């Protein structure tokens, strides 16, 4: 680390403020040789710890510089190994929580640009967002916000994290992440939430259930089809919700209709074998979803939207049956 870089970073740490000119100078000195080193990375962490009034420019520089160092400079290049994951968590953790939004943004960015990372790193980042929603405080709680509910910043972070390439199901949602979405949904059900939240909940859970025909990642073609459908609710959802409101579904009968082959008359596009398998729920997925939906004995509006989405995505095969009297 150059003496000038260390001195400037120390100055930032001493008064808790950083100007645009100082950020520009740190950027110039830090990348004079094309990369920052371990001492420079530690100086940036120390400056961030002491920065009481961080600006968006500081957050951008902090995330850019340190994500490049962590992913591209520390070997193996492009990957986060166990040692680096442990070091990063240890450096930013304060009794299980993060102290700043810049640190959370750094975690998210690292997971977005790395080709692979230990699952505990992604789990740690997701826990920070979930805890903020459940308890009403944390690095994502800034500005004029209600103490509970899920805000736009948290929705954006969750979307980036659950679809980050570095994780247990790259670019897709795992069962653990889908269960987290259900927990957040239940905790924030009667709060004022961001408009994006219901869409994220439905898309996230549906991606876990229908996005894969096995353990392999989606093909680019299938991913495009799924994304297009997610962005277009379709004409049948309103009618489906109307049917749903008139009777309590018998989930056993409803899910049973999803376990067989696709009906060629339903209008579902012919995909390859894996995509066909992804368009229905296997018995384990059906049981998993049934248990979560029946946990509170009454369908809320988000769960109704999820079932409507599944009904449309499976070509109308998901039809709730009246409960037996």
DSSP per-residue letters across 301-318: HHHHHHHHHHHHHTTT--
Give the tokens for residue 13: 């740490």
Phi and psi (nearest 5°) for 234?
Answer: 95, 165
pLDDT in tens, 216-254: 444 455 555 555 544 554 444 444 444 434 433 444 444
Alpha-carbon distance 290 to 302, whole Å? 15
Q: How confident is the model at residue 29, as a pLDDT? A: 79
Alpha-carbon distance 230 to 206, whole Å? 9
Give the tokens for residue 253: 């009968």
Phi and psi (nearest 5°) for 259?
Answer: -95, -5
For the chain, which residues score pLDDT lower than 70? 1-4, 6, 12-13, 31-34, 136-148, 167-171, 211-280, 316-325
Please list the alpha-helical segments (H only) found in 71-139.
Answer: 82-92, 101-113, 119-135
Alpha-carbon distance 310 to 325, whole Å? 26
DSSP per-residue letters across 164-210: -SSSSSTTS--HHHHHHHHHHHHHTTTS---TTHHHHHHHHHHHHHH
Read off the pTM. Answer: 0.72
Q: How confident is the model at residue 87, as a pLDDT? A: 94
Phi and psi (nearest 5°) for 314?
Answer: -95, 20
Close Cβ partners of 83 (under 8 Å, ≥ 6 residues apart) = none
Alpha-carbon distance 72 to 69, whole Å? 6
Phi and psi (nearest 5°) for 162?
Answer: -70, -20
Q: How confident is the model at residue 81, as a pLDDT? A: 93
- Provide the total of helices (H) and of strands (E) in the chain, helices listed first: 16, 0
Phi and psi (nearest 5°) for 319?
Answer: -125, 115
pLDDT in tens, 271-320: 344 444 455 677 788 889 889 988 877 889 999 999 888 888 777 655 44
Alpha-carbon distance 28 to 34, whole Å? 10
Alpha-carbon distance 210 to 105, whole Å? 29
Q: Are 98 and 139 in contact (CB under 8 A)?
A: yes
The one-character DSSP state at 264 is: G
Q: Which residues pair with 97 in a beta bridge?
A: 94
The one-character DSSP state at 73 is: I
């Amino acid at each position: 680390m150059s003496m000038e870089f260390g001195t400037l970073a120390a100055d930032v740490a001493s008064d808790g403020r950083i100007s645009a000119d100082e950020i520009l100078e740190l950027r110039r000195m830090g990348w004079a040789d094309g990369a920052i080193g371990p001492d420079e990375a530690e100086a940036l962490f120390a400056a961030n710890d002491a920065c009481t009034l961080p600006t968006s420019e500081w957050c951008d520089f902090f995330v850019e510089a340190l994500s490049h160092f962590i992913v591209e400079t520390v070997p193996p290049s492009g990957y986060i190994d166990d040692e680096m994951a442990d070091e990063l968590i240890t450096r930013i953790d304060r009794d299980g929580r993060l102290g700043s939004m810049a640190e959370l943004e750094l975690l998210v960015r690292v997971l977005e640009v790395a080709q692979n990372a230990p699952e505990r790193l992604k789990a740690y980042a997701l826990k920070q967002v979930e805890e903020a929603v459940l308890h009403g405080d944390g690095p994502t709680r800034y500005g004029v916000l209600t103490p509970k509910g899920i805000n736009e910043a948290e929705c954006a972070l969750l979307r980036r994290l659950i679809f980050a390439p570095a994780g247990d199901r790259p670019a897709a949602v795992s069962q653990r992440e889908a269960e987290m979405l259900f927990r957040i949904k239940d905790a924030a059900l009667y709060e004022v939430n961001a408009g994006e939240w219901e869409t994220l909940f439905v898309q996230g859970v549906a991606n876990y259930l229908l996005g894969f025909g096995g353990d392999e990642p989606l093909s680019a073609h299938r991913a495009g089809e799924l994304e297009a459908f997610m962005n277009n609710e379709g004409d049948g959802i309103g009618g489906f919700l109307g049917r749903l409101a008139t009777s309590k579904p018998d989930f056993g009968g409803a899910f049973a209709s999803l376990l067989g082959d696709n009906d060629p008359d339903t209008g579902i596009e012919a995909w390859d074998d894996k995509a066909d398998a992804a368009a229905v729920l296997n018995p384990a997925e059906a049981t998993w979803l049934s248990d979560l939906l029946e946990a509170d004995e009454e369908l809320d509006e988000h769960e109704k939207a999820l079932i409507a989405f599944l009904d449309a995505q499976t070509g109308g095969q998901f039809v709730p049956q009246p409960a037996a009297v």
